[in-house]
Structure 1
Amino acid sequence: MSEHFAGVSRARTEALRAEAARAYAAARPRTQAALAEGAGAYLADVPMHWMRDWPQPFPMLVARARGARLADIDGHHLDDFCLGDTGSMFGHSPAPIARAIRAQAGRGLTYMLPTEDALAVGQLLNQRFGPRRWQIATTATDANRFALRVARAVTGRRKVLVFNGCYHGTVDEVMVCLDGGRTVARPGLVGQGTDLTEGAVAVEFNDLAAVEAALATGDIAAVLTEPVMTNSCMVLPDPGFHDGLRDLTRRHGALLVIDETHTISSGLGGYTAVHGLEPDIFVLGKPVAGGLPASVWGMSAEVAARFATYDAARPSGHSGMGTTLSANPLQFAALRACLSEVMTPGAYARMDAGARLLAAGLERAITAHGAPWHVARVGARVEFICAPEPLRNGSEAAAAHVPELEAAIHADLLNQGCLIAPFHNMMLVSPATSRAQITRLIAAFSATLDRLFD
């Protein structure tokens, strides 16, 4: 067993984690009492299993959140750089969205019919993300699943190509990875009943030769990708990668589906608009309605026309797409407020400036401590990565992920009043995040490194 993690001794890592756990528990007697009384109703004591993924010995119970601050029931106030893992990227409860939700709540929550807000949202989506034919879903998982159904329908092909280490929600087709160069089902899947490799193939991000070889088989309906890999240690695209990907998919008749659920941090219109990408289908979830469950997915006019032809010849019956509560009026009220008043050029300018400040501060701290790490950024999204060089693919990202060390750092930062995402080392800067909050996080990160490095 190695005595070091990414330049840090195992002993120091374990000592910091233990110290952080003791301090966290001692500071939260009310939380512990509440959990002891009420958590037992849930499987594994949490409403969603991933709530166990935080590095603390027991979950924090949130009392309220506003802007970029969060308070727990024991009265601790935290600078929130997790922001619901992007769901609250524009801050908690932006005033225009809160007003819109309150107003719509008095008019009804779901009708199975559209509203005038729905018509306005269609126009706003075209303004923000380019002209497409849109549909509304409840999560990006749903949107990706439906987008892949459309891709298979219009191409007559079965398989989807994804990148090793990707994440696009709980869509079956993305739950594959590479093992010795072969596509296999990801380890740890619960109750898996089918052979996922019959419908999916995985290749490494930034490997256009592997993409071309997979597409040359002629059975790939779509390539589903994030513009930047974000649910691993962050992997940025090589220069020319997206141009090559677009050229290859067109040449081989596969659709290109871009999932912007995390990379919407890039700027107004997401990475697609900032970098001029041309997806056949565009997917966005999480922050598009300010954190209210909602997602959008839009087809190009050409794909929409192909799908209309397919749909006209389809026998009547269940399509396998859509859920009853999707496209409800509460979603449209929040979508309209977010797209028109919250997701603005000014908001992105503040986010980008703050993220630049944060990235520079983290880099200074890493350099000052001689840590063999680096910082990656895509717009308002910043990560420190416990590896010396930028990463190129999912295999490198997996090797750079150091769960024990990262958990100790996250726990120590929280005890200093700074909350970052439990998954990897992601930090988001919202329009509500102040310079003082960024300065506090940089100082807390440096203090944590003081405890880890000589």
Structure 2
Amino acid sequence: MSDQTMDSGVAAVIDRERLATLLGRELEDFRARHPRSLEAHERARRSLVGGVPMPWMMRWAGGFPVVAERASGNRIVDVDGHEYVDLCLGDTGAMPGHGPAPLVAAVVEQLQRGITTMLPTDDAAWAGEELARRFRVPRWMFTLTATDANRAALRIARQITGRRKVLVYSYCYHGSVDEAFAVAGPDGTTVAREGNVGPAVDVAETTVAVEFNDLPALEAALATGEIACVMAEPAMTNMGIVLPDAGYHDALRRLTREHGTLLLIDETHTFSAGPGGCTGAWDLDPDLVSIGKAIGGGIPSGALGLADHVTAAMFDQQGADYEDTGGVGGTLAGNALSLAAIRATLGEVLTDAAFAHTIPLAERFADGLRDLFAKYALPWNVTQLGARAEYRFEPRPARNGSDAHGAADPELERYLHLHALNRGLLLTPFHNMALMSPSTSAADVDRHSELFDEAVSELLA
């Protein structure tokens, strides 16, 4: 454990030897309960890197991943026949639930009419209008992921400002954008995040990293006149949920305007805050908005919204090739299938009524945890952002990503996740995050509270 974790009080209440014993028991139980998943994983190791489709799947708590057979609503069934209440929901990608009927119908119909044609469909204009209504940014382009949208946004920002650098927050989440894998070092310099793979250049060449909620550091960085764009989650989501201080976003918007810097708000995870994400819920006024994952209900989709002054500046640039070789977009971006999925998801699934159902469920999840923290005198906290909630092993919510990162306890997290997984409940790997879908019920949330109570009771016995 790090010193910060010990200072939080976790070490005072957790017997590490008992934790190791219980974790070992859960690992044995997991292996015994999932012979077909293990067999499938062993086969996959002969052809897949790490035995999984993407390396991050190696980090599931059981030592090998459950292999899914089918998913519907907020339930997943694995190849061993176990059913799970899914509070992970594809880490936001399945926020509408798995295979909601309107999405399935729209996708099947579009599959029969064509998947990708290099031509627009009527769904494109509908999706642009709906995103403009929700996020109050008038112009949109479509990608396949939010990572693609963010990369396009940074190219555009550099082009129209003539500046090289991007400002990010330590331990932010912006997909696999190179510039985002940077943190503020102890002396205030910008350094690569630990474990960053193959950066093209020293991150300090492209990026300035500051701590979230640190206005003096933000102002000092912007005052250099070298920042083309601030790329910000409105609330940080990569190390738990870190909410902005009161007035922080007003100051961020004022300072970026004063220093000629564009403001990009990434709503990929924070879409959970409501139908228009935090931008709508908190009345934000960004120059650009990026979003992905959830808007297509699991069909690869992403979008970038641009204010009118940004699109005007784009097309005022001489020699900037946005149509071909400039590096904005891709052949499959904006394809007919993903646009059909976006229209069905936004038009019929993730509606105002859906959020009116899911947000109270996240409140119920958070309240259940707070009651249990009090019951066991645990110095932990839980933070909610709309339909999303996450607990952390520290007495108070962190104010920045570095503090949240320092309070991590991977062994304890693994035990709690695996205990729940072995009893039919799925949480997001390497997060303690739960997300509510339109098909999630109060009973599903209460089941998490029951299992958490059981796991902690055994740990503290």
For Structure 1 versus Structure 2, the TM-score category normalised by the shorter chain is over 0.9
The question of whether the paired residues in 1 share the 8 Å contact of 2:42 and 2:51 is answered with: no
Equivalent residue, structure 2, for 1:392:
399
Q: Which runs of 5+ in 1 are unaligned?
A: none
Equivalent residue, structure 2, for 1:218:
225
User: 1:22-171 residue pairs with structure 2 within 5 A?
Assistant: 22-171=28-177
Equivalent residue, structure 2, for 1:268:
275
Q: Out of 282, 288, 296, which is 1:281 matched to? A: 288
How much does 1:193 deviate? 3.0
Q: Out of 351, 354, 359, which is 1:352 matched to? A: 359
Matched, 1:249 2:238: no
TM-score, normalization: structure 2?
A: 0.96
Distance 2:46 2:417 in 1: 26
Distance 2:43 2:324 in 1: 47
Equivalent residue, structure 2, for 1:429:
436
Matched, 1:202 2:209: yes
Partner SS, residue 229 of structure 2: strand
Distance 2:392 2:168 in 1: 23
How much does 1:204 deviate? 0.5
The superposition leaves residues 75-99 of structure 1 with CA deviations (integer Å, 9 ceiling, x where unpaired) of 1011000000000111111111111
Matched, 1:293 2:300: yes
In structure 2, do the counterparts of structure 1 residues 6 and 346 end up closer, same or farther at CA, with 3 Å as the change threshold? farther
Equivalent residue, structure 2, for 1:439:
446
Distance 2:125 2:224 in 1: 42
Distance 1:314 1:25 in 2: 55
The question of whether the paired residues in 2 share the 8 Å contact of 1:164 and 1:394 is answered with: yes
How much does 1:409 deviate? 0.8
Partner SS, residue 235 of structure 1: coil
How much does 1:35 deviate? 2.4
TM-score, normalization: structure 1?
A: 0.97
The superposition leaves residues 146-204 of structure 1 with CA deviations (integer Å, 9 ceiling, x where unpaired) of 00111111111110000011120111111111221221112212222311211100000
How much does 1:317 deviate? 5.8
Distance 1:31 1:421 in 2: 19
How much does 1:313 deviate? 4.1
Distance 1:232 1:200 in 2: 20
Partner SS, residue 76 of structure 2: strand
Alpha carbon RMSD of aligned pairs, Å?
Answer: 1.5
How much does 1:284 deviate? 0.5
How much does 1:138 deviate? 0.6
Distance 1:281 1:450 in 2: 47
1:139 partner letter: T
User: 1:400-439 residue pairs with structure 2 within 5 A?
Assistant: 400-439=407-446
The question of whether the paired residues in 1 share the 8 Å contact of 2:44 and 2:52 is answered with: no
Distance 2:320 2:80 in 1: 57
In structure 2, do the counterparts of structure 1 residues 317 and 286 end up closer, same or farther at CA, with 3 Å as the change threshold? closer
Distance 1:343 1:417 in 2: 26
The question of whether the paired residues in 2 share the 8 Å contact of 1:144 and 1:171 is answered with: yes
In structure 2, do the counterparts of structure 1 residues 23 and 280 end up closer, same or farther at CA, with 3 Å as the change threshold? same
Partner SS, residue 176 of structure 2: coil
The alignment covers a number of residue pairs equal to 453
Matched, 1:380 2:413: no
